[in-house]
Amino acid sequence: MSNALVILAAGKGTRMNSDLPKVLHPIAQVPMLIHAMRAGSVLSPERTVIVTGHGSEAVAKAAMAEDEDVQIAVQEDQLGTAHAVAQARNALNGFDGDVVVLYGDTPFLQPDTLERMIEARSGNDLVILGFEAVDPARYGRLVMNGDVLERIVEFKDASDEERSITFCNSGLLACNAQLLFSLIDEVGNDNAAGEYYLTDVVEIARRRGLNVTAVACDEAQTLGVNSRADLAAADAVFQARARAELLDLGVTLMAPETVYLAADTVVGRDTVIEPNVVFGPGVTVESGAMIRAFSHLEGCHVSRGAVVGPYARLRPGAELAENTRVGNFVEIKNAEIAEGAKVNHLSYIGDASVGAATNIGAGTITCNYDGVMKHKTTIGANVFVGSNTMLVAPVTVGDGAMTATGTVVTRDVDPEALAVARAKQENKPGYARKLFDMLKAKKARRDKKA
């Protein structure tokens, strides 16, 4: 049986109080919508339709960056969840498999839950995903009769008795696509919100004598995000899970609750991560590395035995080979640091390659940007770059070369050569004393005037 996904993402998310569409707010540095798409991908959907509305262009762009085959259905006015699903009708024209409806703001769904919904479809025409709510608050309530789901009543429309039900609607459902559209055709908007409720399809299906049931999952999976507070809470849930996974894999986190991970962070076993480290997207750290406190990593690769930080910043394209050292207040961007090389203090290495066993002295800067274009610095193996060297790119320093402290390198340096480019030092005997006397006399005259 083939499957399709419809992801509802048109809502404004008023309570986010944001210019960014709600579903593009990130959790663990990945937009919520992309979390939902990745969860849905377990169904190997033949078609994926994203229903967009507020911020449609931005939402469509993010969705297509994840999967170029997604179809976008624009819902001009947000008239309710049933109306939103109806917008996918054209995109699912001629598709007679199952459709699973997800929300773009429900990022914690686990793949097996979707599989269970599809399994429950054999023997049922319509399957709803429910959960036992600790605080049912304003969720829709599932009115069950044994295993049969009779209807869903929205909080706003519920009687006191119905409000006491704790089995709630997650919003997800699975149904044959064409059947779902025919059920939606009958949905009206005569309710407390004046909206076309998707939840009404349950009662309509039951009236037609169809089989409807609910599958349960734990509440954490259905966590929806409606406010910044929800976003923070959702992120916290994700972080707790991701840290626990790393610990299980044999990674030492000295203070787990202070390490911030991205959804795609990969860390090998026996790597040690000190407190207060932030991982942005696209980081891979191999086994047996050490990420010291207060470091910030994104889009980079750290090999076995490397030591990063404390206070290091690895930006996209930083490639650290085995046994490298990147120390405090060092920033590396789009640069390869070959095996055993060291950049220990206060340096910026950008758009560069640094050869094996090379030592970069404190305060070294690759001057990669001329105000218009970026240029490359190539430093060979076994080079000693003296402290406070400025490497004005494009420039090459050959293997085994040396630069004197304070040198501004503007021309290529041959292998094994020494580059010195700094003003000659001159010592003037007794001058310091004369200067001090002059300054003290000046200050005394000023104090007298005042």
Which spans of this chain sit near Mg ion (rule: CB under 5 A)?
224
How does DSSP assign 232-260, residue by residue? HHHHHHHHHHHHHHHHHTT-EESSGGG-B
Q: Which amino acid makes up residue 437?
A: D
CB of 8 to Mg ion, least distance (A): 10
102 lies in the binding site for ligand UD1 (CB under 6 A): no
CB of 140 to Mg ion, least distance (A): 10
108 lies in the binding site for ligand UD1 (CB under 6 A): no
Among 98, 105, 203, 331, binds ligand UD1 (CB under 6 A): 105
d(CA 98, CA 439) in angstroms, rounded, equals 87
Per DSSP, which regions of 41-91 are E strands? 47-52, 71-74
d(CA 217, CA 237) in angstroms, rounded, equals 16
Among 171, 305, 361, 380, binds ligand UD1 (CB under 6 A): 171
9 binds, among ligand UD1, Mg ion, none (CB under 5 to 8 A by kind): ligand UD1
10 lies in the binding site for ligand UD1 (CB under 6 A): yes
Q: What is the 3-state secondary structure (H, E, C) of 364-387?
A: CEEECECCCCECCEEECCCCEECC
Comparing CB distances to ligand UD1, the nearer of 83 and 333 is: 83
CB of 11 to Mg ion, least distance (A): 8
51 lies in the binding site for ligand UD1 (CB under 6 A): yes
306 lies in the binding site for ligand UD1 (CB under 6 A): no
Active site residue 345: yes
60 binds, among ligand UD1, Mg ion, none (CB under 5 to 8 A by kind): none
Cα torsion for 73, 74, 77, 80, to the nearest 10°?
A: 30
171 binds, among Mg ion, ligand UD1, none (CB under 5 to 8 A by kind): ligand UD1
Comparing CB distances to ligand UD1, the nearer of 154 and 286 is: 154
Asked whether the beta carbons of 330 and 347 are under 8 A apart, the reply is: yes
Site stretch for ligand UD1 (CB under 6 A), options 100-108, 177-185, 289-297, 327-335? 100-108
Q: How long is the chain?
A: 450
39 lies in the binding site for ligand UD1 (CB under 6 A): no
Give pairs for 288-294: CB < 8 Å, separation 24+: none
212 lies in the binding site for ligand UD1 (CB under 6 A): no
Strand partners, 418: 402
Q: Pick the catalytic residue: 35, 83, 296, 345?
A: 345
CB of 132 to ligand UD1, least distance (A): 13
d(CA 404, CA 136) in angstroms, rounded, equals 70
Comparing CB distances to Mg ion, the nearer of 171 and 256 is: 171
Asked whether the beta carbons of 384 and 368 are under 8 A apart, the reply is: no
| H helical segments located in 99-145 | 111-120
Rounded to 5 degrees, what angle do the CA atoms 175, 178, 181 make? Answer: 85
CB of 224 to Mg ion, least distance (A): 5
How many other C-beta atoms can be found within 10 angstroms of the C-beta atom of residue 438? 9
| Bridging pattern class, strands 26-27 and 290-291 | unpaired
CB of 226 to Mg ion, least distance (A): 6
Among 18, 41, 78, 110, binds ligand UD1 (CB under 6 A): 78
Q: Which residues contact 93 (CB under 8 A, 6 or more apart)?
A: none
75 lies in the binding site for ligand UD1 (CB under 6 A): yes
Among 34, 62, 158, 168, binds ligand UD1 (CB under 6 A): 168
Among 97, 224, 317, 415, binds ligand UD1 (CB under 6 A): 224
Q: By rule CB under 6 A, what string of x and - marks binding of each residue 124-153 to ligand UD1?
A: ---------------xx-----------x-
Size of the site for ligand UD1 (CB under 6 A): 28
Among 198, 306, 332, 395, binds ligand UD1 (CB under 6 A): 198
DSSP state of 53: B
Rounded to 5 degrees, what angle do the CA atoms 170, 174, 178 make? Answer: 135
Comparing CB distances to Mg ion, the nearer of 97 and 224 is: 224
Q: Which residues contact 134 (CB under 8 A, 6 or more apart)?
A: 219
Comparing CB distances to ligand UD1, the nearer of 9 and 246 is: 9
Comparing CB distances to Mg ion, the nearer of 95 and 103 is: 103
The overall longest dimension of the chain from CA atoms, in Å, is: 106
Please give the structure tokens belonging to residue 163: 């409000």
CB of 122 to Mg ion, least distance (A): 30
Asked whether the beta carbons of 360 and 354 are under 8 A apart, the reply is: yes
Comparing CB distances to Mg ion, the nearer of 224 and 316 is: 224
d(CA 327, CA 321) in angstroms, rounded, equals 15
- Residues tagged active-site: 345
Q: Residues interacting with ligand UD1, by CB under 6 A?
A: 8-11, 51, 53, 75, 78-81, 83-84, 103-105, 139-140, 152, 154, 168-171, 197-199, 224
